[in-house]
Amino acid sequence: MAIDPVCKMEVEESNAAATSEYKGRKYYFCAVGCKKAFDQNPEKYLAEEKK
């Protein structure tokens, strides 16, 4: 299971609504809206992840 970096939902990689690659790492999303938000400002969501 992966965690959607935007909404923090658990996402089954094989059933993810969308994916993005950023800095060599693949991210999985529960919905296309979360992917769009992430793609616009990935550092915002990754900074939250590092807290």
- Residue 47, pLDDT score: 85
CA–chain centroid gap for 25, Å, is 10
- Name the CA radius of gyration of the chain, rounded: 10
pTM of the full structure = 0.89
The pLDDT of 24-40, averaged and rounded, is 98
User: Mean pLDDT, to the nearest integer, of 4-28?
Assistant: 97
Max CA distance (Å), the chain: 28
Arithmetic mean of pLDDT over the chain: 94
Q: What integer pLDDT is reported at residue 50 of this predicted model?
A: 58
